[in-house]
Structure 1
Amino acid sequence: MRILHTSDWHLGRSLHRADLLGHQAAYVDHLLEVVEAEEVDLVVVAGDVFDRALPPVDAVALADDTLARLAASRATVVISSGNHDSARRLGFGSRVMDAAGLHVRTRPEDVGRAVELADAHGPVVVHALPYLDPDAVRGAWGLTGRSHEVALDAAMTRVRADLAGRPGARSVVLAHAFVAGGRPSDSERDIAVGGISVVPTSVFDGVDHVALGHLHGAHTLTERIRYSGSPLAYSFSEAGHTKGSWLVDLAADGSSTATFVPAPVPRPLARIRGDLADLLADPDLAGHEGSWVEATLTDAGPRPAGAMERLRTRFPHALVLAFDAPASTGSRPRVVRPGRSAHDVTLDFVADVRGLGADDAEAALLASACDACAEDPTQDVPA
């Protein structure tokens, strides 16, 4: 059986307020092309279809179109919810969608209820585990601890009970969790409960193939346990990632081989660093002129005026501007001497932090601010 493993679409997400919905739609087109070109039998989506519980209407429309196209494709589709999804909203209509070959699993009570498929070598059983908040299932499942490992152990107990009644069936599990061996990026939401979020790979012992979601980088934890990662970069910490999905061939004996299928990159991410004048002139940076850019300026002395506007003359998609260090050397202590007015202190502060004194307009604005904060403006006079 040929399986396409994807996850963490985060439909509706932006990148530092830059709209990514068009890029997400391009990924959906790519996904459907892979399904047809590679003769995929099963598509699994391991959580975080949406970026938040109440997604914007345009994201819902894209999800609706995506699911309709997948349901009409050659593949059976199994989807589980992630920690960013609203389980109830994503799972709306799931019992009706089952009849269309689109299986959405978002409820803890459905853990252990398999999706049954078959190929020329016999049955394949798919168990989709939704994101399981330990506090949410602790009472209903009688958990003895408060961690993701305990919750997933309980879920896998239900999965193994179902598999025990299916001798000879090959097994696939979807899960949305932080499994040991993966490396997080800056764009994942922390799912720690009681300080414990990491789950060992041994939780999934006895399963032929495990398709994971949550971490946004592609990872191979073992030959049968993998993260597909997100289809797009959602933070500059992912600038070096290759995004895509896993094409998995599940053999007759339950072993699997996987090939990574890179996703299209509508606009790459770049991190650049240096003096502003150098960044604007360096010919080696020409390849980043169409990228989303995070720039760190290392100019000595005062920070360049209008730095972002100047940067965007060459890098029109610059989104983040940072500075290597405060302009102040910090070599002298900041002491407020008796007899100095609040206005004098603010002028000293500006000069110390920025490395450049306030101009006349800025000084006048600071004077107005000091007067507005004083009960009696006449008190702001040196003794």
Structure 2
Amino acid sequence: MRVLHVSDWHLGRVIYKEPRTEDHDTVLNEIISIARSEKPDLIVHSGDLFDHARPSVPDISKAATVLQELAAVSPVVVVRGNHDSPLLFRLYTQLLGPDSGIYFIDEPRDPDKGGVLRFHGADDTVLRLGVLPFVHAGRAIDAFGDVGHWRTAYAERIGRMEHALAAEMLRDFDDRRDVAVFAAHLHVGGANFARSERPVHVSDYYATNADDLPAVSYAAFGHIHKPQKLPGTRVTGRYAGSPIQLDFGEAGESKSVVLADLRPGQPAHIDLIGLSGGRQLHRLEGTLDELRAKAPSVGRDLCLVTVHTPTRQPSLSEQVRDLFPDAVLLDVQENPADQKLEVLTQDTVAEDAEPDTLQMFRDYLAEHGSSAAPADRLLKTFGQILTSLEEERPVVFDEESLLIDPPEPDDGTPTTEEP
């Protein structure tokens, strides 16, 4: 059986006040074309259909339209992500009806009461799909029973859920006929972030263990926006990633969807099908001449621009706009050299520091010399005086001991003290 895995659309995304509607329209049409061309037996969306729990009416309508287009090809399962509203998912289920071919997984389900779905292929293959939407750390899940486990560590709780789903998926499993897939919206410890995820939900507190993943043919995961394999080698699976560069943490990333071909008793065959990613995100920095050289590669993309100038230029924004007439300039910053504050390092401070008194006396001796005593002896004596003054103690020289305790005469005659 063939599974098309998509994820993290984040419909309704806005960056620097620029809606990403145009970019979503582009990639969603690409995904529909891929589905029609590849004819998967099942389409899995692994969460974050929307960017906000309360999406706009146009975004709600767009999501329904695209999912219905996909459902015309094959059944679609949408697992709720941390940005999605469970109430909206239930409303979709109610409005679209049981015959829509779209299954919205709004909350974790008991393994034998909707936590494992079954889909039949044309060749009598049965795909068993375990589903686990995002679980908030403070949410108690009745479907997974024992209240004594509600306050255990998050990773341990998720691990118990995964083991329960695995037990049901693999119950009476026939590897001559059945294939197993696990779809979830979770942070697996060791994944590489794109830095555009909601920080609290990709913290170490929300990290789950790769060793707890069910032993399935393919694991379809959402939540991490950077396309990548799941951490570890125990289970074949991927984060499909977001279909567009959602913010500048994803600048430069190539986007794709996953096509998994699954055969009973055989390893999964995984293909990545590239997406255009919509308009790209660029951070551009340099002088006006340097930026001019980059202009031909920018086109209609979205840009943050920093311009290095010798001094502040009042018309800089207009000049930059002339360089990139088709681009969306989200922000233009000027970095004038004459207003730049120098960042001091230990080396530069040492180089620029005023010479101390001892150094100035050394320089004086080097230039004028000394007729009273050798220069090095004078410098040593001067240094002793300075040190004693800094430490607020009397100035004492070794020679003073000769005045206080004169040596005995060589002939052994005792000295006579003056009265």
Q: Is the 8 A contact 2:46 2:185 kept in 1?
A: yes
Report runs of 4+ in structure 1 exceeding 6 Å deviation.
none
> SS of the residue aligned with 2:65?
helix
Match of 1:102 in 2: 102
1:26 and 1:17 mapped to 2: Cα distance? 19
- Quote the residue 2:271 is aligned against: 259
Deviation of 1:318 (Å): 1.6
Question: 8 Å contact 1:9–1:230 — kept in the other structure?
Answer: yes
Q: Percent identity?
A: 24
Q: Work out which of the residue numbers 128, 132, 155 in structure 2 matches 1:129.
A: 132
Map 1:155-194 onto structure 2 (within 5 A): 155-168=161-174, 169-192=178-201
Matched, 1:116 2:150: no
Distance 1:2 1:296, change over 3 A: same
Q: 1:253 to 1:190 in 2, by over 3 A?
A: same
Q: 1:83 to 1:322 in 2, by over 3 A?
A: farther
CA contact under 8 A between 2:251 and 2:281: conserved in structure 1? yes
Per the alignment, in what secondary structure is the counterpart of residue 193 of structure 2? coil
**2:291 maps to 1:291:** no
The one-letter amino acid paired with 2:236 is R
TM-score (norm: length of structure 1): 0.78
Q: Do the aligned partners of 1:180 and 1:199 also contact (CA within 8 Å) in 2?
A: yes
For the pair 1:281 / 2:292, whether they are aligned, the reply is yes
Q: Give 2:414's aligned residue.
A: none
Q: What's the offset of the Cα at 1:141?
A: 5.1
Residues 1:255 and 1:118: Cα distance change in structure 2 (over 3 Å): farther
What per-residue deviation string (whole Å, max 9, x for no partner) do you get for residues 236-285 of structure 1?
2212111120011012215201111111243222222112x224432x43
**Corresponding residue of 1:354:** none
Residue of structure 1 equivalent to 2:51: 51
1:66 aligns to what? Answer: 66
Name whichever of 152-161 and 305-314 sits farther off.
305-314
Which structure has the larger Rg over C-alpha atoms?
A: 2
Partner of 2:79: 80
Q: What secondary structure is seen at the aligned counterpart in 2 of 1:230?
A: coil
Residue in structure 2 matched with residue 317 of structure 1 by the alignment? 328
Structure 1's 126 and 138: CA in aligned 2 closer, same or farther, altered over 3 A?
Answer: closer
Between the aligned partners of 2:9 and 2:203, the Cα distance in structure 1 is 27
User: Counterparts of 1:325 and 1:146 in 2: how far apart (Å)?
Assistant: 55
Give the C-alpha shift of residue 325 in structure 1.
Answer: 9.4
How much does 1:183 deviate?
Answer: 1.4
What amino acid does structure 1 have at the position aligned with 2:183? L
Paired residue type of 1:226 = R
Alignment match, 2:237:
225
Identify unmatched segments of 5+ residues in structure 2: 345-419
Structure 2: distance between partners of 1:124 and 1:109: 18
d(CA) in 2 for partners of 1:194, 1:270: 27
Residue identity in the other structure for 2:50: F
2:221 partner amino acid? L
Q: Distance in 1 between matches of 2:343 and 2:254?
A: 44
> What is the alpha-carbon distance in structure 1 between the residues aligned to residue 161 and residue 342 of structure 2?
55
How far apart are 1:129 and its partner, in Å?
1.0
Alpha-carbon distance between aligned partners in 2 of 1:290 and 1:207, rounded to the nearest angstrom: 43
3-state SS of paired residue (2:81): coil
Q: Which amino acid aligns with 2:162?
A: M
How large is the Cα RMSD of the aligned pairs? Answer: 2.6
Whether the aligned pair in 2 keeps the contact of 1:134 and 1:151 (CA below 8 Å) is no
Q: Which runs of 5+ in 1 are unaligned?
A: 333-383
1:44–1:79: 8 Å Cα contact kept in structure 2? yes
- Are the structure 2 counterparts of residues 323 and 4 from structure 1 closer, same or farther at C-alpha, using a change threshold of 3 Å? farther
